[in-house]
């Protein structure tokens, strides 16, 4: 097997991550396994994986001096291959490295690469998917999974809303709790449209933040309220199961283990009950074998 596909140094660019990236990619891998295995023998016209913040394909875990495969390669080597993968990355060097690594995979999957801002490219992508879906009016359109994993708050609400226009589009969203903690105080009284406004799609987060600041509530309560608000917006886009009582706990919180500081959560949205069932079983355990405490 090529070094490009093994968890070793292969001379191509990688980015440095903390050991917590392992946990995030574990939940993704578990979900992909369930999604790909259960859906591959049904007559979907396409089963598509979309990675809007694709990276280089390999991560260097500095603290442990080890390498792991990134989300695009995990998707590309799924137990049952997707028919199509879409990888978007705005850093040209990262994308070049990703292309080389993906090129080493022997696969039947069609791969689309795009170098640019995913918040712009999403318009073109959704237009293409919808045009393909509209050619056939039965229920076996395309089945899509989007992994939205920026470094911080680069994912805009407008992008999420655009993706939601596709009939069958599951979403795994990186909710940057640490990024919000670092920026909300600075921006909540700003007259300008800020990165936080773009992430939530409006300024309601400022009211929630203000209320919690006045009440001096714990950050956990603040993020619970912010996530509930975000999910209420997902619900309006058709992700009905997203708010049911049963589902609210299934947002793995990934921490910087050294400082026990919350970094981010993974939020899941599907318009289908089965999607929620898969996500629930994918996140039941941590990669370290423990039953997860919500
Ligand atoms: C956290 S990394 C993704 C890691 C990847 N999921 C993996 O497992 O290997 C985020 C990536 O998104 C890219 N990025 C950030 N903003 C972007 C944007 N607006 N459009 C496209 N790519 C972006 C960064 O260059 C970075 O490589």
- 290 occurs within a structural domain: no
Please give the C-alpha separations between residue 192 and each of 55, 116, 170, 206, in angstroms, as whole numbers: 30, 25, 32, 13
Confirm or reject: Cβ of 159 under 6 Å from ligand 1: no
- Note down pLDDT in tens along the chain; length 294 residues: 899 999 999 999 999 999 999 999 999 999 999 999 988 888 899 999 999 999 999 999 999 999 999 999 999 999 899 999 999 999 999 999 999 999 999 999 999 999 999 999 999 999 999 999 999 878 889 999 999 999 999 999 999 999 999 999 999 999 999 999 999 999 999 999 999 999 999 999 999 999 988 766 677 789 999 999 999 999 999 998 765 545 545 899 999 888 888 999 999 999 998 999 999 999 988 888 777 554
- Side-chain-side CA neighbours of 193 within 13 Å: the count stands at 6
> What span, in angstroms and rounded, lies between the C-alpha atoms of 59 and 25?
11
Does some domain include residue 294?
no
Q: Looking at the domain assignment, is residue 137 inside a domain?
A: yes
CA of 28, closest atom in ligand 1: 8
Q: What is the CATH number of the domain that holds 15?
A: 3.40.50
Q: What is the pLDDT of residue 244?
A: 52
Total Cβ atoms within 10 A of residue 285: 14
| 49 part of a folded domain | yes
Ligand 1 in reach of 228 Cβ (< 6 A) = no
Could you list the residue range(s) of the whole structural domain that residue 167 is in?
3-282
Q: Going by DSSP bridges, is the β-strand pair 66-69/253-256 parallel, antiparallel, or unpaired? A: unpaired
Best residue among 99, 150, 179 to mutate for probing ligand 1's pocket (most ligand atoms within 8 Å of CB) is 150
Residue 249 confidence (pLDDT): 52
Residue 292: what pLDDT? 58
Q: Tell me the CA–centroid distance for residue 70 and ligand 1, in Å.
A: 11
For ligand 1, is residue 94 a contact (CB within 6 Å)? yes
| Residue 178 is assigned to a structural domain of this protein | yes
- 293 domain residue, yes or no: no
**Distance in angstroms (rounded) separating the CA atoms of residues 247 and 118:** 28
Residue 147 within any structural domain of the chain: yes
Q: What is the pLDDT of residue 245?
A: 46
Q: How many domains does the chain have?
A: 1
In a domain, 197, yes or no: yes
């Amino acid at each position: 097997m090529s070094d490009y596909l093994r968890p070793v140094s292969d001379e191509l660019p990688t980015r440095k991550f903390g050991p917590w990236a392992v946990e995030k990619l574990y939940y993704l891998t578990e979900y992909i396994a369930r999604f790909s295995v259960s859906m591959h023998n049904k007559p979907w016209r396409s089963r598509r994986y979309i990675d809007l913040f694709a990276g280089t394909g390999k991560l260097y875990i500095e603290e442990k001096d080890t390498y792991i495969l990134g989300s695009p390669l995990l998707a590309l080597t799924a137990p049952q291959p997707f028919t199509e993968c879409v990888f978007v990355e705005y850093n040209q060097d990262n994308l070049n490295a990703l292309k080389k690594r993906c090129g080493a995979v022997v696969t039947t999957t069609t791969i689309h690469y795009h170098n640019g801002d995913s918040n712009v490219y999403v318009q073109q992508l959704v237009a293409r998917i919808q045009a393909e879906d509209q050619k056939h009016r039965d229920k076996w359109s395309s089945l899509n999974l989007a992994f939205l994993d920026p470094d911080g708050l680069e994912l805009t609400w407008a992008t999420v809303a655009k993706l939601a226009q596709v009939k069958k589009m599951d979403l795994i969203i990186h909710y940057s709790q640490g990024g919000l903690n670092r920026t909300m105080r600075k921006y909540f009284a700003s007259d300008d449209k800020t990165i936080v406004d773009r992430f939530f799609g409006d300024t309601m987060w400022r009211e929630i933040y203000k209320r919690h600041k006045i009440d001096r509530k714990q950050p956990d309560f603040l993020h619970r309220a912010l996530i509930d608000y975000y999910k209420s917006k997902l619900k309006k886009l058709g992700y009905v199961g997203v708010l049911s009582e049963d589902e609210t706990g299934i947002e793995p919180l990934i921490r910087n283990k050294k400082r026990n500081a919350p970094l981010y959560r993974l939020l899941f949205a599907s318009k289908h009950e089965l999607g929620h069932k898969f996500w629930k079983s994918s996140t039941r355990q941590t990669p370290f074998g423990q039953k997860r405490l919500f």
